[in-house]
């Protein structure tokens, strides 16, 4: 960071190139393109596959709005899909039932860092000739059947937003093995001009450039890339700590009938533990999810909800005609879920305090079964 400030090269330049190379190497991918948000990475991804007005893009309703909104940037329609039964990730059979002649792509999201069933997604995509763009905002580092997320599909978008597993404050990375996609994304990232602006000012560059497309302004400045490189060096260490915390929560809550713990991922798969998503079993408690969070907060533990399904938001209801009841699995997950604190600097004592506070709320509001003689 200090080096970048002293170099006086603040915008996209050598530190960004270094971060991109380091990121690609970390995943084992060919190309990584740094951008100023995860949303920007998704925007570039749908742009390079040639998304057009009138096209349709399959996206889970159980996600953050960025996953779906990028389709609308290009006049395409986000087609929402339900979650798997008793889970958070996209239900591939439900997605397949929504394929039409206009479907151009599917954007699966590895919710909380739990890898989606990419085998089923790729089969469906190849049967219907649709592109796969992974929204891996939560999935660094995560793996599917021995392969790092970021190396499994044509295009993968990562986010470095403040709360993500590694952060640059705001930032993102588009990853691909395709030379053609990388080249187009590189050009569109910076106004559609023929070469990076920083090259124009370097010794080997010239003042000349050509505008090839109406591009965007999505580049990541060197100051943030330097932060990204430093964070990436610690990514495994951060992940170890997140995994340890998740393991501790799982062990301690294993016997609590009121709680449904995160799904155990399959062989060769790794969870990134970006979020620790619990689900309550409503029949066992005298309070609902919202009151549960309020009680935790009253006792000094912050919890949140990821996510309010998109179809329950006014924009998706009013503009795209969705309504409550359209996606029962996602609504069930939403009504019962909460995210407990999980981040690398959470100390053992703090983890213990979270566990004890959850246990206290459980014991206060447990529904006692009265035996009838
Ligand atoms: C699932 C998902 N996709 C995309 C994004 C967008 O990332 P960014 O905030 O970096 O644009 C987020 C952000 O939180 C997210 O949770």
What pLDDT, on a 0 to 100 scale, did the predictor assign at position 92?
98
User: Cα separation of 257 and 285, whole Å?
Assistant: 10
Catalytic residue among 22, 102, 164, 217: 164
pTM passes above 0.85: yes
pLDDT of residue 312: 98
Distance 168 CA to ligand 1 centre (A): 13
**Is 137's C-beta closer than 6 angstroms to any atom of ligand 1?**
yes
- What is the reported pLDDT for 2? 86
Q: What pLDDT digit, counting tens, does each position of 29-64 carry?
A: 999 999 999 999 999 999 999 999 999 999 999 999
Q: Can you tell me which atom of ligand 1 is nearest the CA of 172?
A: 10
Percentage, residues of the chain above pLDDT 90: 91
Digit-coded pLDDT (tens) for 342-357 = 999 999 999 999 999 9
Q: How much is the pLDDT for 207?
A: 85
How far apart (Å, rounded) are the C-alpha atoms in residues 144 and 115?
Answer: 6
Q: What is the pLDDT of residue 198?
A: 59
Distance (Å, whole) CA 15 – CA 227: 9
Average pLDDT rounded to a whole number, residues 11-37: 97
Q: In the prediction, which pLDDT does 200 show? A: 61
Query: 115-124, 229-238, 360-369: which has the minimum mean pLDDT?
Result: 360-369
Best residue among 161, 167, 224, 304 to mutate for probing ligand 1, ranked by most atoms within 8 Å of CB: 161
Q: Which atom of ligand 1 is nearest to the CA of 42?
A: 4
From residue 203, how far is each of 81, 199, 221 by CA, in Å? 51, 8, 20
Distance CA 276, CA 250 (A): 10
Say what the pLDDT of residue 264 is: 83
Ligand 1 pocket, 159 CB below 6 A? Answer: yes
Q: Report whether 66 contacts 42 (CB < 8 A).
A: yes
Centre of ligand 1 from the C-alpha of residue 206, in Å: 37
pLDDT of residue 255 exceeding 70: yes
Question: Which residue's alpha carbon is at the smallest distance from atom 16 of ligand 1?
Answer: 64
The confidence band for 371, taking pLDDT boundaries of 50, 70 and 90, is low
98 and 79 Cβ atoms separated by less than 8 Å: yes
Distance 77 CA to ligand 1 centre (A): 19
Secondary structure class of 6 (helix, strand, coil): helix
In this predicted structure, the answer to whether residue 239 has a pLDDT above a threshold of 60 is: yes
Tokens of 170: 């705001």
- Separation of CA 231 and ligand 1 centre (Å): 18
For ligand 1, the distance from its centroid to the CA atom of residue 160, given in whole angstroms, is 8
On the question of pLDDT at 337 being above 70, the answer is yes
**Average pLDDT for residues 127-145, to the nearest whole number?**
98
Instruction: Please give the mean pLDDT across all residues of the chain.
Output: 96
Average pLDDT of 229-246? 98
Decide: 36 in ligand 1 pocket, CB within 6 A: no
Could you report the per-residue pLDDT of 210-235, keeping only the tens digit for each?
999 999 999 999 999 999 999 999 99
Q: Would you state the pLDDT for residue 301?
A: 98
| Dihedral sign computed on CA atoms, order 356, 360, 366, 371 | positive
- Residues ≥6 apart with Cβ < 8 Å to 369: none
pLDDT of residue 1: 80
Please report the atom of ligand 1 found closest to the CA of residue 41.
11
Q: Is the pLDDT of residue 94 over 90?
A: yes
User: How far is CA 119 from its chain centroid?
Assistant: 19
pLDDT grade for 203, boundaries at 50, 70 and 90 = low
360 is catalytic: no
Please tell me the distance from the alpha carbon of residue 214 to that of residue 100, in angstroms, as a whole number. Answer: 29
Q: Which atom of ligand 1 is nearest to the CA of 306?
A: 16
pLDDT tens readout for residues 265-309: 889 999 999 999 999 999 999 999 999 999 999 999 999 999 999
Give the tens place of pLDDT for each residue, 154-200: 999 999 999 999 999 999 999 999 999 999 999 999 999 986 555 66
Q: Does ligand 1 lie within 6 Å of residue 161's CB atom? A: yes
Tally of CB atoms within 10 A around 334: 21
Q: Tell me, what's the pLDDT at 208?
A: 87
């Amino acid at each position: 960071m200090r080096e970048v400030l002293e170099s006086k090269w603040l915008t996209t330049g050598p530190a960004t190139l270094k971060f991109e190379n380091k990121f690609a190497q970390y995943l084992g991918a060919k190309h990584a393109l740094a951008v100023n948000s995860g949303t920007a990475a998704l925007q570039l991804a749908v742009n390079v596959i040639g998304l057009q007005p009138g096209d349709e893009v399959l996206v889970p309703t159980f996600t953050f709005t960025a996953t779906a909104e990028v389709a609308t940037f290009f006049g395409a329609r986000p087609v929402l899909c339900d979650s798997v039964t008793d889970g958070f990730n996209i239900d591939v059979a439900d997605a397949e039932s929504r394929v039409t002649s206009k479907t151009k792509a599917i954007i699966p999201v590895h919710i909380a860092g739990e890898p989606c069933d990419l085998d089923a997604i790729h089969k469906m995509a190849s049967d219907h000739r649709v592109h796969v763009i992974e929204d891996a905002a939560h999935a660094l580092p995560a793996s599917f059947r021995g392969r790092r997320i970021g190396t499994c599909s044509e295009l993968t978008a990562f986010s470095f937003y403040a709360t993500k597993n590694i952060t640059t404050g705001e930032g993102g990375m588009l990853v691909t093995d395709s030379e053609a996609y990388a080249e187009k994304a590189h050009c569109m990232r910076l106004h559609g001009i023929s070469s990076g602006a920083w090259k124009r000012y370097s010794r080997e560059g010239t003042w000349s450039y050509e505008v090839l497309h109406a591009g965007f302004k999505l580049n990541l400045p060197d100051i943030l890339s330097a932060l990204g490189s430093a964070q990436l060096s610690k990514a495994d260490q951060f992940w170890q700590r997140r995994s340890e915390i998740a393991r501790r929560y799982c062990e301690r809550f294993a016997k609590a009938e009121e709680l449904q713990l995160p799904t155990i991922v399959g062989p060769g798969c790794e969870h990134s533990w970006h979020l620790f998503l619990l689900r309550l079993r409503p029949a066992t408690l005298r309070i609902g999810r919202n009151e549960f969070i309020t009680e935790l907060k009253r006792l000094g533990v912050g919890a949140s909800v990821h996510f309010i399904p998109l179809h329950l938001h006014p924009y998706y209801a009013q503009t795209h005609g969705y309504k409550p009841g359209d996606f029962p699995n996602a609504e069930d997950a939403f009504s019962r879920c909460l995210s407990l604190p999980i981040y690398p600097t959470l100390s053992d004592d703090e983890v213990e305090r979270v566990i004890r506070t959850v246990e206290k709320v459980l014991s206060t509001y447990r529904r006692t079964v009265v035996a009838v003689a």
